[in-house]
Chains A and B, each alone.
Chain A
Amino acid sequence: MSPRPGFVLEVDRSTPPTVFWHGEGFRFERLPEGSRVVYPPEPLDGLVDPEASIRHALEHPLGDSAPLSALLKPGMRLTIAFDDVSLPLPPMRRPDIRQRVIEAVLDKAAAAGVDDVVLIAALAIHRRMTDDELRHALGDRVFDAFAPHGLLQQHDAEDPGALVHLGLTDKGEDVEINRRAAESDLLVYVNINLSAMDGGHKSVATGLASYRSLRHHHNVKVLQHSRSLMDRHHSEMHSSNWRMGRLIKAAGVKIFQIETTLNLDMFPSQFNFLQKREWEWSLADRAGFHATRLSLDRTPPRLARQIFQSMLSPYAVTSVQAGEVEAVHDVTLENLHRQQLVYVEGQTDILTMGLPYLCPYNVNSIMNPILVACLGLGYFFNLYRGRPLVREGGVCIMSHPTPWAFNPVHHPSYIDFFEQVLAETTDLVEIEKRYEESFATDPWYIHLYRTSYAYHGVHPFYMWYWCAHALQHLGAVIIVGGDRAAVRRMGFKPASTLADALEMAEDVVGRNPTITHLHAPPLLVADVS
């Protein structure tokens, strides 16, 4: 039986309560009759032989690219860049798709007699990956062959000697990227395209860029006009990256792009209930859910976090495509939409969502309040094509504990952003104008980013800007079950229960509002008419 597509359920009297993610836990909420629930499609079947598909993609490239084996010559400088720890979410079971692809590329490089090979984690301004994380992503064989010799590097956006300025786009945007990557005879970029936002020219133009370059598309104005981040043709952020990507190509940087897509089989078997629609739960699913919920309610937050962070996803690979960047990305988007797109008729007054324990920036870490906002308003709100799920002036209700807690190793500047900046103002433009540069150039943050495992000093600003479109669009944001002080610090409204939140929302959108619940993750993209 082929996997079923996504589905919009209208809640009636017989509809069972709906599962809401709530950080490292769940809420079981009964939505008002007439509410809609948008369910993701069922996972597509994975490729039968991923290794064979990878080899096929490398030798049958898309666009105007020659096959990889034809691009590899003895004596050449080859750089393989790959997506960092922010993808995929949750981390996938071994072997990670990056390992499979990179092993295939390395086999071809070895066969072609290429000796000068460097691997670079395309961090942009994310934190450096730990050895364990690198080993997980690349596999023991690759890690042990490269890391001890200094050939497994992590992009350093603050090392002037390791960056090269390639020029300005026709819009005056600086394009400054990793020198080794830019000066190699061939740059192979290995993507995991978990969402439509990933990949394309964004891979190199963002993943291997410096702050000087990133600030041109990671800013309030651009992100307010990225509608949505999942729809590159209507995203200013992507347009900027595309301009930069084309300049990179024009500057002579030869890129061989490899993009991979995964299915929606995101959670291991003990969380099977998350992959199903509630009214289709078996007795075992019901028992599993309630047992999980009850035990999580009694588990200390730190332990619950450890349990969830250790979860590995059984993802299957659904496609691999390689070759010229734009041609590859077009096919990738088709494959992603095949898995994730759900048709939804019309907008809603109130959009509800349950936020899980994980976003791209808290792998093995704490989901601090800024990341809660970013996940809800930056990512989930943007899971649309066409029009936002919620109407302009509508209300977004998010469920998450939103603890006033930070990982000081990973997120040192987040603490200061929360304590200092948000205490002063939550206004995006004012924050950008008054504070961004001082955080971006703070020597301590730079030191921690370069030598420890800290996100760059400017990163919390980008997370806040990520909410720009949602904050401009929405009439109010309510967080259910969150730390009240933390929620208020961000300018949102706290509510104890979903019922309270819905009542509060009526003050904004009026009586008898339409309600739509985004039943994610697993991820979906709503194609809103």
Chain B
Amino acid sequence: MKALLFERLVHRFAAARLVSLVAGSGTGIGVAPLRLGEIDPPSLPGANWHRVAPRLSGICGSDLATLDGTSSRFFEDIVTFPFVPGHEIVGVVKDGRHTGKRVVIEPVLSCVVRGIEPLCPSCAAGRTGSCERIAFGHIRPGLQTGYCADTGGGWSDELVAHDAQLHLVPAGMTDEAAVMVEPAACAVHAALVGQVVPGERVVVLGAGTVGLCTLAAVRHHTLPSALLSVAKYRVQRRFAEDLGADEVVAPSELGRAVRRMTGTLALASSGGAIDRLAGGADVVFDCVGSARSIAESLEVVRPGGRIVLVGMPGTVRVDLAPLWQREVALVGAYAYGMEDVPGGPRRTFALAFELVAAAGLERLVSAHYPLERYEEAVRHAANAGRRGSVKIVFDLRREDPAWRRTAEPVAKKRPTPRRDEKLETSA
């Protein structure tokens, strides 16, 4: 089958890191340890596993960090090489009782998926995203589909998924909407982790896919008195307004905007620029995850407020003095599981399906690419905002893929391997 394979080639990883750090995200794709080729489909690891043919698979910020070589070494023990990336997936089941049906994959490889009993405390509590056994069980380590050598990933013609990972797509839902369910689930979880009390003032920092989905989720699941979005690019501003932001500001306007929103005082330097707020927002969702965004979150959150880290951070250098002095809570929001919502606990993915439909998140899918144009796709994803886009997906539909209708002819930056050519792996 055709797949993009990410290998453990340290020299290429280092080269990609160097290039991306110098020239920006996505620029190192030409030297990154990612290759398009023909590989054997993954084996079914056991009963209750099924073959799934991806139809659309998104390029996520965490994928870009991996390809840029900037992701944290924290993940080294919870991924296995070589792996096929892609964890935002809508596909078609190829076997079993759901054969021919479209499904969204819930990619977390938790206890149930791994055949581990009894369940770890997190899984037992429904917090599968926090599974304590992601390196154990009958499949190799991997926190998610798309980071595990045994399951395959969405950037291919086929992967394997456990029953517990499958969510049937309603008949009326487009593939574009369905592929947004996984990022929407992350956003729903983050919004609920934020525990926004009605009437609180909320900031969503960043307006890429994660930021916009989080904005929609906060608007959908909570009742803030003011919801401020920080967006860098015009397309992001427009979507943020549409998805319910009360105000959308540029990054440079953040301090002033939060001061206005909260009516707090500010500590200003002699030049008059705002250095720090005396009070601030009740909850800040950092959907970027950089040192700068964490620092900015600390600058604009009120004493005793909460910062929810939604965007994937790496190794960052941040002054935590304000976190200490102002007793700010910094909490991560990763993946999904079960959520406590009015009416009783529900799976995050079920809520995400509803959010995608209610907020019309399928409109965030901006461009489709075939796997063959993966370098172009990755560069586009890395510069999505600047290029007027949000979510970039690989379109693997054999019948009438969108890229065939809309995209430019395939630009072969690198010779495509023959179908019978298999990539060498260093597993």
Interface residues of A (CB under 8 A from B): 407-410, 412, 415-416, 419-420, 438, 442-444, 447-448, 452
Contact = CB atoms under 8 A, between A and B. Distances in A.
A408 B272 contact: yes
Given A443-B263, A444-B266, A447-B265, A409 B257 contact: no
B259 interface: yes
B15 to A, nearest CB: 40
Q: Which of A412, A438, A444, A447 has the most CB of B within 10 A?
A: A444
3 closest cross-chain pairs (CB), A and B:
A408-B272, A409-B272, A444-B265
Nearest to A448: B268
B259 A408 contact: no
Contacts of B256: 415-416, 419
A408 B265 contact: no
Given A408-B273, A442-B263, A443-B263, A419 B268 contact: no
Given A442-B263, A444-B264, A420 B247 contact: yes
A420 B270 CA distance: 23
12 contacts: A408-B268, A415-B256, A416-B260, A419-B249, A419-B256, A420-B247, A438-B263, A442-B263, A443-B263, A443-B265, A444-B259, A452-B268
A415 B266 CA distance: 14
Contacts of A416: 256-257, 260
Contacts of B117: none
Nearest to B252: A419
Interface size bracket, B side: 10 to 19
A267 B265 CA distance: 42
B325 to A, nearest CB: 21
A415 B249 CA distance: 13
B253 interface: yes
Contacts of A407: 272
Interface string B232-263: 00000000000000010100010011011001
Interface of B: 247, 249, 253, 256-257, 259-260, 263-266, 268, 270-273
Contacts of B268: 408, 412, 448, 452
B271 A408 contact: yes
B253 A419 contact: yes
Given A420-B247, A447-B265, A412 B272 contact: yes
Contacts, number: 36
B235 to A, nearest CB: 17
Contact of B260 (A420, A448, A452): A420
B11 to A, nearest CB: 46
Nearest to B270: A409
Contacts of A448: 268
B57 to A, nearest CB: 37
Contacts of B270: 409
B233 to A, nearest CB: 15
A483 to B, nearest CB: 16
Contact of A420 (B257, B271, B272): B257
Given A408-B272, A408-B273, A409-B272, A419 B264 contact: no
Q: Which of B268, B270, B271, B272 has the most CB of A within 10 A?
A: B272
A443 B266 CA distance: 10
A420 B265 CA distance: 17
Nearest to B263: A442
Contacts of A410: 272
A447 B270 CA distance: 15
B203 to A, nearest CB: 15
Contacts of A444: 259, 263-266
Nearest to A441: B263
A415 B271 CA distance: 14
A503 to B, nearest CB: 28
Contacts of A420: 247, 249, 257, 260
B271 A409 contact: yes
Contacts of B272: 407-410, 412
Contacts of A415: 256
A421 to B, nearest CB: 10
Contacts of B273: 408
Nearest to A421: B260
A410 B271 CA distance: 10
Contacts of B257: 416, 419-420
A312 B383 CA distance: 52
Contacts of A412: 268, 272
Given A416-B256, A444-B264, A444-B266, 5 more contacts: A408-B268, A419-B257, A420-B249, A420-B257, A444-B265
A447 B247 CA distance: 25
A419 B264 CA distance: 18
B246 to A, nearest CB: 10
A333 to B, nearest CB: 39
B139 to A, nearest CB: 51
Nearest to A411: B272
A443 B264 CA distance: 7
A164 B247 CA distance: 39
Q: Which of B260, B264, B266 has the most CB of A within 10 A?
A: B260
A212 B263 CA distance: 20
Nearest to A408: B272
Nearest to A415: B256
Nearest to B256: A416
A409 B272 CA distance: 5
Contacts of B266: 444
A448 B249 CA distance: 23
A124 B271 CA distance: 24
A448 B256 CA distance: 14
A407 B253 CA distance: 15
B94 to A, nearest CB: 51
Nearest to B265: A444
A403 B415 CA distance: 51
A419 B253 CA distance: 8
A447 B265 CA distance: 8
A410 B249 CA distance: 22
A442 to B, nearest CB: 6
Nearest to B253: A419
B125 to A, nearest CB: 43
A412 B259 CA distance: 12
A469 to B, nearest CB: 29
Nearest to B260: A416
Contacts of B249: 419-420
B59 to A, nearest CB: 32
Nearest to B261: A420
A408 B272 CA distance: 5
Nearest to B237: A423
A419 B270 CA distance: 21
Contacts of A409: 270-272
Nearest to B272: A408
A380 B410 CA distance: 60
Nearest to B248: A423
A409 B269 CA distance: 9
A305 to B, nearest CB: 15
Nearest to A446: B265
A408 B256 CA distance: 11
Nearest to B247: A420
A461 to B, nearest CB: 14
A417 B265 CA distance: 17
Contacts of B263: 438, 442-444
A3 B257 CA distance: 54
A409 B268 CA distance: 9
A420 B247 CA distance: 8
Nearest to B250: A419
A405 to B, nearest CB: 12
A408 to B, nearest CB: 3
Contacts of A408: 268, 271-273
